[in-house]
Structure 1
């Protein structure tokens, strides 16, 4: 399954289970989380998933579950889900075991390295562990997040035996919207996932181009922007807590932007 929009579970805290259940009930079939208690309640993601499967008569195979291994630097030392004194290989294996238990699943559709690790030799070592998960059937695909250095990502791709299938980055002007990275992803059949797609781009949501299309298609500005992203081949993360917004955003595939309309918004990036 290649998701077209993913429900993001960061910062949902004690509402995580209810929101995940709601999102799946409304039609989301892909869920993103992380084994990082600082920002995610992965265990409650699992609770929400199980409730939704039962309530909506769905099978595990109907969902795309993606989680992340977060290196020690991105963890709260008081809640870190593995021993940071362990070698990186053991940290990653422990994290995966915790994620599978939290999510109540025996496999993951996607495992993402939450951020690059330095030096590159350590990154490569971590990647070899990820590759082992794919070979063993624990994970279907692997990727990396928060990697904005095109040279670094290309180097990882080159040395990888099992290539990254996901690059998940913040979509914002500071990195020129990852134009070089997105082109590389497109050339190599790598899914580019965007987060902060709305939060980082109020100037685009309020632009004349987007607002005119909002009127034309009778859709919200966020829905127009999400649809624009999908036309570019981007898979956006959506972290809304609003039932109305879930319905609006999942309805973006009921219409198609014209080529000229896509180009006008793209020119703003």
Structure 2
């Protein structure tokens, strides 16, 4: 008798379906998740599906980075003002920043290796994949999506690609984060002023402390949407294959008896 993954009879599952999100196990490269954690602590954990830890590390990165002045110091270093880069740093906060930053990189690398092992075992156990979930306020289902379209939506506005894939929590987190970063950095104002033809005036309104978060935030949203779209498509194929195997297995005896007659 087939066991239902909802009952907990299987030790590992390739995917968990909720009404607001789909969390999936798949093979990842440890150095990729470590790199994203280095670019922005929390991103590596979001890639692994550890969303709560990822959210907290992201808030930590923004809060401690702003207090320590690391981004502002980096901008001063890039522009050749080395003496000023030392002055804007707050050593009290920098010492609190370094250990957690190193931990985020190390933990995402270690966790990726462990989850790759779990993926191998989950593939071997072949637990059924639930491809539909409905609740009173929301429903979720597994279908084919376009990775390039998901990435394009996230490039238009970070978070939209995740909403396209029905990854509601992380989608609205990235959307809200992008709106906040654009507002506090003044980049939205710069775009408007530049479109009006006043390029020199535009750069005086930028807040470099906030603006330095934007590149990694923008690139991660596009990359994450593309990767999960690809993995959801693979999961859809596996779910279809499981269904065909179960249906064929149950229909085969009766079909053979009918042909023998």
TM-score scaled by structure 2? 0.22
The structure whose Rg is larger is 2
Q: Flag the structure with higher helix content.
A: 2
Higher RCO (CA < 8 A, seq sep 6+) = 2
Q: Flag the structure with higher strand content.
A: 1
